[in-house]
Amino acid sequence: MKQPPVYVLNHSQHNFRQRTTQPDLDEIEDWTDRAARRMYEGAGLGPQDVDIFNPYDGYATMSQFFLSFSVARREAR
């Protein structure tokens, strides 16, 4: 192999309750924070251990998150 193998250390499935029929940005951010916490805890890793950016644009609001993340990451350097 040209690249070292990648090991999947955890998997999580979630279904958070919605307050309304259309969740707002704060609610979606809360869900993603909770899901990320579960994944890191299950894998025994933290954000500092992961070097990947894999955006999934399944919903229009997700583009906002990716743009915010990219700007914040660039500013942190």
Q: Are 29 and 62 spatial neighbours (Cβ–Cβ below 8 Å)?
A: no
39 domain residue, yes or no = yes
20 domain residue, yes or no = no
Q: Could you tell me the pLDDT band of residue 59, with boundaries at 50, 70 and 90?
A: low
33 domain residue, yes or no = yes
pLDDT of residue 56: 63
Residues 6+ apart with CB under 8 A from 66: 55, 57
10 domain residue, yes or no = no
4 domain residue, yes or no = no
Q: Could you tell me the pLDDT band of residue 26, with boundaries at 50, 70 and 90?
A: confident
Total count of domains within the chain: 1
Q: Could you tell me the pLDDT band of residue 69, with boundaries at 50, 70 and 90?
A: low
The pTM (predicted TM-score) of the whole model is 0.55
Q: Assess whether pLDDT exceeds 70 at residue 23.
A: yes
42 domain residue, yes or no = yes
Per DSSP, the three-state class of 21 is coil
16 domain residue, yes or no = no
Domain membership of residue 67 as a residue range: 25-47+59-76
